[in-house]
Structure 1
Amino acid sequence: MLEAINLDCVRGERRLFHNLNFHLDAGECLLVRGQNGSGKTSLLRMLVGLTPAAAGAVHWQGSPIKKLGDGYRRELLYCGHSLGLKDDLSATENLTSGMALSDESVTADAVLDALGQAGLQGREHLSVRALSQGQKRRVNLARLLLQKRALWVLDEPLTALDAQASQWVVRVIDQHLSGGGIVVLTTHQDLTLVGTAHVIRVGV
């Protein structure tokens, strides 16, 4: 269970949102809508503990995430605007090293399978700098198949993806929700999910 309680976001002298509240149970998704600069990314960063709220709190399983620390971070997977990929490494090497940094073991076959499902067959061993922006995003999103986390926080996951790749992402999200996972995401695109989806707007 993920809960936001009376969250405030202030940037400089501007208040982006005030007294924001929501509650998500297993199998539920939250779509965060709003104009550019309305505070969508700031909200997601608050939810993962990267940006402090001006007021309010975020709770996971009934406890403030500030108190949970690493225990909470082991429960979540955050895909932000920055893809966090090293250009000199291949897609396979990026995923393998990322898993190692997270203290998680993964087999070479599992990495190749994840990249294949993401539509990167034949490009698994190419340097990331040789990939298009959409292909780089697919490498990053392949983490969704490898890191078994209850909470996914995704910032514009469909950016730079073609229709086929976008449909794949939606299927993966639906599978996660069907398995009892929780998802929070921002997107400017229309998104139809099988699981329960709530919508909030920020900056209005």
Structure 2
Amino acid sequence: MVFKRIFDIIVSFCGLLFIWWVFLIIAFLIKKKMPGGPVFFCQKRVGKDGHLFTMYKFRSMTMEHCGSSVSVFGQSRITPLGTVLRKYKLDELPELWNVLKGDMSFVGPRPDVPGYMDCLTGEDREVLKLKPGITGPASLKYRNEEILLAKVEDPQKYNDEVIFPDKVRINRNYMKHWYFMLDIKIIVYTIIGKDLEEEFLK
């Protein structure tokens, strides 16, 4: 895992150094298209060993949203600009700072709000040994999660009973079969939009 952390530090630092101008453009657009609120969305998430940390994203929702932990495609609380940012994952660029700080890694389980990961029991709690990631094997499988949730009658129930347990299973298997080049493969597949063909996804 030493190489994983070294990779995270170097790539996140270079990313912040070379795309700072993208941050400025997105910040300007948010202020112009979504006035009356902050540029960044900051929220406590569950990290490695169950410790809480503050995760940073570009704001993609209105300030009056209900605060549900499940996002569904087409919801009115997601602004038109926010829809574009989320489609191309641009809202997650500030997480590079979380990676540089050591709160997150490039690859790992997506960090959940308190009430999910901290309620895991038994062997499922093994995933808490991993740093949460910007992307990961479960993220690849559920890259269209918001669209999937929009098709079911009760998105919150479907997430809690189907998607979340499957993500935990995938992330446990990722931890058991981890090797450095798997992380590189996941990052590349995330960028090009390709599905990860690994046994632990099935």
TM over 0.5: no
**TM-score, normalising length: structure 2:** 0.28
Structure richer in helix, relative to its length: 2
Which structure carries more relative contact order (alpha carbon 8 Å, separation 6+)? 1
